[in-house]
Amino acid sequence: MVNFDRFELSNGLKVLVHQDLSTPMAVVNVLYDVGARDEVEAQTGFAHLFEHLMFGGSVNIPDYDEPLQLSGGENNAYTTNDLTNYYCQLPAENLETAFWLESDRMLSLAFSKKSLDVQRKVVCEEFKEHYINKPFGDVWHMMRDLAYKVHPYKWMTIGKELSHIENAKLEDVKNFFSKHYNPSNAILVVAGNVQTAQVQLLAEKWFGSIPSGIKYHRNILQEPAQQDARRMTVKRNVPMDAIYKTWHMASRLDQDYYTTDLLTDILGGGASSRLYQALVKEKQLFAHINCYHFGSLDRGLLTIEGQLVKGVDMKQAEDAIEEELTKAREHLIDDRELQKVKNKTESVMAFEDMSVMNRAGSLAFYELLGDGNLMNDEFQRYQQVTTSDLQRVAKEVLRESNSNTIWYMAN
């Protein structure tokens, strides 16, 4: 059970306070309700590039990192298709430093040309390092484009292509900031060795005078139900073949999301999972195979990816996957197997909650979903899942007509 207090400033900034006196540290987590899904197709990768620019100096403070490091703190940030999250941890006595820094960059950035020029290059190198210069690195560009025809999940957070980042202009940066970076679009979580009254004072002092801005209302076209299976085959300079399959699944707040999550665990979550046991160990068609999803807020993708043992025929490998999916659709999963994945989930959640930083990030995430308290109901929602739910979801999701398949072949 994670306890917290919650209040809202008059400019719309939501503030959550989670006290843990067992640590000498404080965590300040600022989540902005903007991700790659808020970009337009002609200018992708912008939410992520912007995250880099948030460290390039704000209106009154030339450098974000230096004062934080001087106060004994460290920080990082990440951008997903759904959101952008900034977090720092520092000795609790120096909590105000984090308020000073975070509030100034919420107020306004310095918009330095130098910072934009450099970070464009840095992000291009990040793009190359992870998505070009790696075997199988380009697969998710293709898969997202195949699986989504309407929804902005069709591109990756890093962006569709290098040129979108290379061409970003300072004007675009300013517009993006005023549209998305304001108190009404943010959630502040303060956690660790802190007092709510103290956080209230600091929040008023540093964030209270920031204009609320115009609340951004997201208007995203949702992906229509897929009617026909989509397939593509690519040849690349890789040492062996791999197969990637995805199916559209429930959105984050749907009870079926939890069922799907447990289903991925049954199919491909580790050493005792069905796909691993049948296809890696028994039939030895795959060197490895996984089943997972991305935890997307809108309808995401249940994914199976596997790397074939050299010499195995792709069709035979895909049929073997299909055989396991047929079992999941046609036969009730037994109670013990369901209990197993529930036990695993309970354990994972306990380990995740060990660190104050994770707890702060989770609280911000659930507040974005609508209520920080959802964090405490999460396991309950997994507990409700029954074996017949699993079978129903397997039938609904793991349909051929809902599927996208990439044969990634060695040339």
Partner 1 sequence: MLNRSEAPHIKDAVEYKIGLKKPDQFKLDNGVEVYNVQAGTEEVVQIEWVFKAGNWFEEKKLIASAANFLIKNGTSNKSAFEINEFVDFYGAYLNRSCYNETAVVSLHCLTKQLEHILPLVQEIFLDATMPEDELLIYKQNMKQRLAVNLKKCDFIAGRKIDALLFGEKHPYGVYSEMDDYDAIQQDELIRYYQSYYKNGHCTIFSAGILPAKYQQLLNKYFGQLPFNKNQVTNVSHPMFPSTQKKWNILNDPDGVQGAIRIARPCPLPSDPVFPKLQVLNVLFGGFFGSRLMANIREDKGYTYGIYSYLMNHIHASAILISTEAGRDVCEATVKEVYHEMEQLRNKEVGKDELLLVKNYLIGTLLGDLDGPFHIIGRWKNLILHGMDESHFNYYVNTIKTIEAKELKNLAEKYLNPEEFYELVVV
> What track of x and - describes contact with partner 1 for positions 223 through 262 (by CB under 8 A)?
--------------xxxx----------------------
For partner 1, the closer of residues 147 and 203 by Cβ is 203
Residues whose CB falls within 8 Å of the CB of residue 329, separated by 6 or more in sequence, listed in order: 391, 394, 395, 398
The half-sphere exposure of 392 on its side-chain side, counting CA atoms within 13 A, is 11
Q: What is the rounded distance in angstroms from the CA atom of residue 74 to the CA atom of residue 88?
A: 6
For partner 1, the closer of residues 119 and 404 by Cβ is 119
Please name which of 88, 92, 65 lies closest in space to residue 76, comparing C-alpha atoms: 88
Q: Does 122 bind partner 1 (CB under 8 A)?
A: yes
Of 14, 18, 120, 160, the one binding partner 1 (CB under 8 A) is 120
Q: Near partner 1 by CB under 8 A, which window of 126-134, 170-178, 362-370, 385-393?
A: 126-134
State the DSSP H helix or E strand holding residue 391, giving kind and residue range, or none if neither. Answer: helix 387-397
Instruction: For the segment 128-147, give every residue that binds partner 1 (CB under 8 A).
Output: 128-129, 132-136
Q: Does 366 bind partner 1 (CB under 8 A)?
A: no
User: Nearest distance from residue 61's CB to partner 1, in Å?
Assistant: 7
Q: Near partner 1 by CB under 8 A, which window of 99-107, 213-221, 321-329, 368-376?
A: 99-107
User: Nearest distance from residue 359's CB to partner 1, in Å?
Assistant: 10
For partner 1, the closer of residues 350 and 369 by Cβ is 350
Q: Does 107 bind partner 1 (CB under 8 A)?
A: yes
User: Nearest distance from residue 382's CB to partner 1, in Å?
Assistant: 12
Query: Which residues, in sequence order, are bridge partners of residue 404?
Result: 230, 246
Helix (H, G, I), strand (E, B) or coil at 93: helix
Q: What six digits make up the tokens of 127?
A: 């793009």
What are the start-end ranges of the E strands in 329-402? none
Instruction: For the segment 6-35, give every residue that binds partner 1 (CB under 8 A).
Output: 20, 22-25
Instruction: For the segment 278-337, give every residue that binds partner 1 (CB under 8 A).
Output: 280-281, 284, 287-288, 307, 309-310, 336
Handedness of CA 111, 116, 119, 120 (dihedral sign): positive
Between the two ends of the chain, the Cα-to-Cα distance in Å is 53
Of 104, 261, 305, 389, the one binding partner 1 (CB under 8 A) is 104
The half-sphere exposure of 375 on its side-chain side, counting CA atoms within 13 A, is 24
Q: Near partner 1 by CB under 8 A, which window of 8-16, 41-49, 349-357, 372-380?
A: 349-357
Q: Does 345 bind partner 1 (CB under 8 A)?
A: yes
Q: How many CB atoms lie within 10 A of CB 179?
A: 14
Q: What is the DSSP code (8-state) at residue 339?
A: H
Residues whose CB falls within 8 Å of the CB of residue 59, separated by 6 or more in sequence, listed in order: 104, 107, 108, 109, 110
Q: Does 206 bind partner 1 (CB under 8 A)?
A: yes
- Is residue 23 within 8 Å of 191, Cβ to Cβ? no
For partner 1, the closer of residues 146 and 309 by Cβ is 309
User: Nearest distance from residue 348's CB to partner 1, in Å?
Assistant: 8
Residue 400: exposed, middle, or buried by beta-carbon count in 10 A (0-12, 13-18, 19+)?
Answer: exposed
Q: Does 72 bind partner 1 (CB under 8 A)?
A: yes
Of 163, 167, 178, 272, the one binding partner 1 (CB under 8 A) is 272
234 Cα distance to chain centroid: 27
For partner 1, the closer of residues 289 and 297 by Cβ is 289
Instruction: For the segment 152-181, give every residue that binds partner 1 (CB under 8 A).
Output: none
User: Nearest distance from residue 67's CB to partner 1, in Å?
Assistant: 5
User: Nearest distance from residue 58's CB to partner 1, in Å?
Assistant: 9
State the DSSP H helix or E strand holding residue 76, giving kind and residue range, or none if neither. Answer: strand 74-79
Q: How many CB atoms lie within 10 A of CB 147?
A: 23
Q: What is the rounded distance in angstroms from the CA atom of residue 115 to the CA atom of residue 57?
A: 8
Instruction: For the segment 43-62, give every residue that binds partner 1 (CB under 8 A).
Output: 59-61
For partner 1, the closer of residues 99 and 247 by Cβ is 99
Q: What six digits make up the tokens of 216?
A: 């951004």
User: Nearest distance from residue 325's CB to partner 1, in Å?
Assistant: 20
